[in-house]
Amino acid sequence: MNSMSAAATLASASDLPTRPRDVAFDYLKATVILMVVAHHSCLAYTTFAHFDPADYLKSTAPVVDTARWQFFDYAQNFNDVFFMSLMFFISGLFVWRSLRRSGVLAFTCGRLLRLGVPFAVGVLLLMPLASYASWQLTGRDAGYLAYWRQDILHERFPGPLWFVWLLLFFDILAAGVFIAWPRSIGAMPHQGRLRRRGLGLLRPVQHGMGAEEERQGRGGHRRLKEPAHPPLPRRAQDQRRAGA
Protein backbone atom coordinates (compact mmCIF):
# COMPACT_ATOMS: atom_id res chain seq x y z
CA MET A 1 0.00 0.00 0.00
CA ASN A 2 2.83 2.38 0.86
CA SER A 3 4.61 1.60 -2.40
CA MET A 4 1.44 2.32 -4.36
CA SER A 5 0.93 5.67 -2.60
CA ALA A 6 4.59 6.56 -3.13
CA ALA A 7 4.32 5.70 -6.83
CA ALA A 8 1.20 7.85 -7.11
CA THR A 9 2.99 10.72 -5.42
CA LEU A 10 5.96 10.47 -7.78
CA ALA A 11 3.63 10.27 -10.76
CA SER A 12 1.77 13.35 -9.66
CA ALA A 13 5.05 15.16 -9.07
CA SER A 14 6.27 14.28 -12.54
CA ASP A 15 3.09 15.72 -14.05
CA LEU A 16 3.53 19.09 -12.32
CA PRO A 17 5.74 20.82 -14.91
CA THR A 18 3.38 19.90 -17.76
CA ARG A 19 0.24 21.26 -16.14
CA PRO A 20 -1.08 24.50 -17.66
CA ARG A 21 -0.63 27.71 -15.70
CA ASP A 22 -3.76 28.90 -13.91
CA VAL A 23 -4.28 32.43 -15.19
CA ALA A 24 -6.92 33.12 -12.53
CA PHE A 25 -4.26 33.08 -9.82
CA ASP A 26 -2.16 35.53 -11.84
CA TYR A 27 -5.11 37.91 -12.04
CA LEU A 28 -5.75 37.50 -8.32
CA LYS A 29 -2.12 38.20 -7.41
CA ALA A 30 -1.99 41.26 -9.68
CA THR A 31 -5.21 42.59 -8.14
CA VAL A 32 -3.92 42.16 -4.59
CA ILE A 33 -0.61 43.86 -5.46
CA LEU A 34 -2.47 46.83 -6.93
CA MET A 35 -4.58 47.00 -3.76
CA VAL A 36 -1.42 47.08 -1.63
CA VAL A 37 0.03 49.92 -3.71
CA ALA A 38 -3.23 51.87 -3.57
CA HIS A 39 -3.50 51.23 0.17
CA HIS A 40 -0.12 52.78 0.98
CA SER A 41 -0.62 55.60 -1.53
CA CYS A 42 -3.79 56.72 0.25
CA LEU A 43 -2.33 56.74 3.77
CA ALA A 44 -1.27 60.38 3.38
CA TYR A 45 -4.84 61.51 2.61
CA THR A 46 -6.97 59.81 5.28
CA THR A 47 -8.70 61.88 7.96
CA PHE A 48 -6.72 60.10 10.68
CA ALA A 49 -3.33 60.75 9.03
CA HIS A 50 -0.87 62.58 11.25
CA PHE A 51 2.83 63.32 11.54
CA ASP A 52 4.59 63.13 14.91
CA PRO A 53 7.56 65.53 14.97
CA ALA A 54 8.85 64.03 18.21
CA ASP A 55 8.98 60.47 16.83
CA TYR A 56 8.59 60.19 13.07
CA LEU A 57 8.15 56.41 13.25
CA LYS A 58 4.83 56.90 15.06
CA SER A 59 3.46 58.82 12.07
CA THR A 60 0.88 57.14 9.85
CA ALA A 61 3.03 57.76 6.77
CA PRO A 62 6.38 59.34 5.94
CA VAL A 63 4.50 62.14 4.16
CA VAL A 64 1.12 63.51 5.31
CA ASP A 65 -0.84 65.85 3.06
CA THR A 66 -3.18 68.63 4.15
CA ALA A 67 -5.86 67.42 1.70
CA ARG A 68 -8.07 64.69 3.22
CA TRP A 69 -10.90 62.47 1.94
CA GLN A 70 -13.03 60.37 4.25
CA PHE A 71 -13.61 57.73 1.57
CA PHE A 72 -9.97 56.67 1.97
CA ASP A 73 -10.72 55.84 5.62
CA TYR A 74 -13.24 53.20 4.57
CA ALA A 75 -10.92 51.89 1.86
CA GLN A 76 -8.07 51.50 4.37
CA ASN A 77 -10.25 49.70 6.91
CA PHE A 78 -11.64 47.40 4.22
CA ASN A 79 -8.22 46.41 2.95
CA ASP A 80 -6.81 45.81 6.43
CA VAL A 81 -9.37 43.07 7.02
CA PHE A 82 -8.11 40.62 4.41
CA PHE A 83 -5.49 41.68 1.90
CA MET A 84 -2.30 40.73 3.76
CA SER A 85 -3.69 37.38 4.91
CA LEU A 86 -4.86 36.74 1.33
CA MET A 87 -1.30 37.28 0.05
CA PHE A 88 0.06 34.74 2.54
CA PHE A 89 -2.69 32.29 1.57
CA ILE A 90 -1.95 32.57 -2.16
CA SER A 91 1.76 32.05 -1.54
CA GLY A 92 1.12 29.00 0.64
CA LEU A 93 -1.03 27.29 -1.97
CA PHE A 94 2.01 26.49 -4.12
CA VAL A 95 4.57 25.59 -1.44
CA TRP A 96 4.02 21.80 -1.39
CA ARG A 97 3.98 21.53 -5.16
CA SER A 98 7.21 23.55 -5.41
CA LEU A 99 8.87 21.31 -2.82
CA ARG A 100 7.89 18.14 -4.69
CA ARG A 101 9.03 19.53 -8.02
CA SER A 102 12.29 21.28 -7.03
CA GLY A 103 13.42 19.53 -3.86
CA VAL A 104 14.34 21.11 -0.53
CA LEU A 105 17.72 22.56 -1.53
CA ALA A 106 16.59 24.19 -4.77
CA PHE A 107 13.38 25.42 -3.14
CA THR A 108 15.24 27.03 -0.23
CA CYS A 109 17.86 28.63 -2.50
CA GLY A 110 15.12 30.00 -4.72
CA ARG A 111 13.26 31.52 -1.77
CA LEU A 112 16.46 33.06 -0.40
CA LEU A 113 17.11 34.62 -3.79
CA ARG A 114 13.54 35.82 -4.38
CA LEU A 115 12.73 36.92 -0.81
CA GLY A 116 15.98 37.25 1.13
CA VAL A 117 17.80 39.46 -1.36
CA PRO A 118 14.87 41.91 -1.87
CA PHE A 119 14.42 42.05 1.91
CA ALA A 120 18.08 42.98 2.45
CA VAL A 121 18.02 45.61 -0.33
CA GLY A 122 14.76 47.08 0.96
CA VAL A 123 15.81 47.28 4.60
CA LEU A 124 19.33 48.57 3.98
CA LEU A 125 18.68 50.94 1.06
CA LEU A 126 15.06 51.65 0.14
CA MET A 127 13.38 52.06 3.53
CA PRO A 128 15.95 54.54 4.91
CA LEU A 129 15.65 56.63 1.75
CA ALA A 130 11.86 56.68 2.04
CA SER A 131 11.94 58.07 5.61
CA TYR A 132 14.93 60.40 5.44
CA ALA A 133 12.77 63.46 4.72
CA SER A 134 10.56 62.61 7.72
CA TRP A 135 13.63 62.33 9.95
CA GLN A 136 14.78 65.79 8.81
CA LEU A 137 11.40 67.29 9.76
CA THR A 138 12.04 66.29 13.37
CA GLY A 139 14.91 68.79 13.52
CA ARG A 140 17.68 66.20 13.57
CA ASP A 141 19.93 66.69 10.57
CA ALA A 142 23.31 65.16 11.36
CA GLY A 143 23.74 63.77 7.87
CA TYR A 144 22.44 60.73 6.04
CA LEU A 145 24.99 58.24 7.40
CA ALA A 146 24.17 59.18 11.00
CA TYR A 147 20.47 58.83 10.21
CA TRP A 148 21.06 55.47 8.50
CA ARG A 149 22.90 54.02 11.50
CA GLN A 150 20.25 55.31 13.88
CA ASP A 151 17.41 54.01 11.73
CA ILE A 152 18.86 50.53 11.18
CA LEU A 153 20.42 49.82 14.55
CA HIS A 154 18.13 51.54 17.00
CA GLU A 155 14.85 52.74 15.58
CA ARG A 156 13.36 50.54 12.89
CA PHE A 157 14.00 46.97 11.89
CA PRO A 158 12.62 45.47 9.72
CA GLY A 159 9.94 48.14 9.25
CA PRO A 160 7.28 47.85 6.53
CA LEU A 161 9.02 44.82 5.01
CA TRP A 162 8.08 42.61 7.98
CA PHE A 163 5.93 40.39 5.74
CA VAL A 164 8.90 39.49 3.52
CA TRP A 165 11.01 37.94 6.28
CA LEU A 166 7.92 36.30 7.79
CA LEU A 167 7.08 34.71 4.44
CA LEU A 168 10.68 33.53 4.10
CA PHE A 169 10.50 32.05 7.61
CA PHE A 170 7.32 30.14 6.73
CA ASP A 171 8.95 28.78 3.55
CA ILE A 172 11.99 27.53 5.47
CA LEU A 173 9.68 26.00 8.07
CA ALA A 174 7.75 24.20 5.32
CA ALA A 175 11.03 22.87 3.90
CA GLY A 176 11.91 21.52 7.35
CA VAL A 177 8.53 19.78 7.58
CA PHE A 178 9.15 18.27 4.14
CA ILE A 179 12.50 16.86 5.33
CA ALA A 180 11.06 15.50 8.59
CA TRP A 181 7.86 13.99 7.18
CA PRO A 182 8.21 13.57 3.39
CA ARG A 183 5.44 10.97 3.16
CA SER A 184 2.89 13.37 4.62
CA ILE A 185 3.35 15.61 1.59
CA GLY A 186 2.00 12.90 -0.71
CA ALA A 187 -1.02 12.45 1.55
CA MET A 188 -2.09 16.07 1.00
CA PRO A 189 -4.81 16.15 -1.72
CA HIS A 190 -4.33 18.26 -4.79
CA GLN A 191 -6.97 19.59 -7.16
CA GLY A 192 -7.16 16.57 -9.47
CA ARG A 193 -7.35 14.12 -6.57
CA LEU A 194 -10.17 16.10 -4.96
CA ARG A 195 -12.05 16.13 -8.24
CA ARG A 196 -11.76 12.35 -8.58
CA ARG A 197 -12.95 11.87 -5.01
CA GLY A 198 -15.94 14.13 -5.64
CA LEU A 199 -16.95 12.10 -8.70
CA GLY A 200 -16.51 8.90 -6.73
CA LEU A 201 -19.04 10.10 -4.17
CA LEU A 202 -21.58 10.61 -6.95
CA ARG A 203 -21.32 7.06 -8.36
CA PRO A 204 -23.78 5.46 -5.88
CA VAL A 205 -26.29 8.20 -6.72
CA GLN A 206 -25.84 7.54 -10.45
CA HIS A 207 -26.34 3.79 -9.94
CA GLY A 208 -29.52 4.39 -7.99
CA MET A 209 -30.89 6.75 -10.62
CA GLY A 210 -30.12 4.28 -13.38
CA ALA A 211 -31.94 1.45 -11.64
CA GLU A 212 -34.95 3.66 -10.92
CA GLU A 213 -35.17 4.77 -14.53
CA GLU A 214 -35.03 1.17 -15.70
CA ARG A 215 -37.81 0.05 -13.36
CA GLN A 216 -40.17 2.90 -14.17
CA GLY A 217 -39.39 2.92 -17.91
CA ARG A 218 -39.98 6.60 -18.45
CA GLY A 219 -40.35 7.08 -22.17
CA GLY A 220 -40.10 10.86 -22.13
CA HIS A 221 -36.63 10.89 -20.66
CA ARG A 222 -33.35 9.44 -21.80
CA ARG A 223 -32.79 6.16 -19.98
CA LEU A 224 -29.54 5.91 -18.14
CA LYS A 225 -27.22 2.99 -18.66
CA GLU A 226 -27.91 0.05 -16.37
CA PRO A 227 -25.19 -0.10 -13.70
CA ALA A 228 -22.80 -3.03 -13.81
CA HIS A 229 -23.55 -3.85 -10.16
CA PRO A 230 -27.19 -3.17 -9.20
CA PRO A 231 -27.98 -1.90 -5.71
CA LEU A 232 -28.38 -4.50 -2.98
CA PRO A 233 -32.23 -4.47 -2.83
CA ARG A 234 -32.47 -5.07 -6.59
CA ARG A 235 -29.82 -7.80 -6.42
CA ALA A 236 -31.76 -9.60 -3.64
CA GLN A 237 -34.96 -9.49 -5.72
CA ASP A 238 -33.21 -11.04 -8.73
CA GLN A 239 -31.81 -13.82 -6.55
CA ARG A 240 -35.25 -14.63 -5.14
CA ARG A 241 -36.73 -14.80 -8.66
CA ALA A 242 -33.92 -17.12 -9.79
CA GLY A 243 -34.53 -19.42 -6.78
CA ALA A 244 -38.26 -19.55 -7.47
77-114 in b/e form (b: 16+ CB < 10 A) is: eebeeeeeebbeeeeeeebbbbbbeeeeeebbeebeee
Residue 63 CA to residue 181 CA, distance in Å, equals 48
Please check whether residue 130 is in contact with residue 46, taking contact to mean a CB–CB distance below 8 angstroms.
no
Provide the pLDDT for residue 112. Answer: 94
What is the tens place of the pLDDT at every residue in 186-220? 545 454 444 454 444 444 444 444 444 444 444 44
Q: What angle do CA 29, 31, 35 make, to 5 degrees?
A: 115
Domain extents in the chain: 13-188, 195-243
What is the tens place of the pLDDT at every residue in 58-87? 888 888 888 899 999 998 888 888 888 898
pTM, to two decimals: 0.61
Average pLDDT over residues 85-90: 90
Name the amino acid, one letter, at 24. Answer: A
Residue 127 CA to residue 151 CA, distance in Å, equals 9
What is the tens place of the pLDDT at every residue in 125-140? 888 888 888 888 887 7
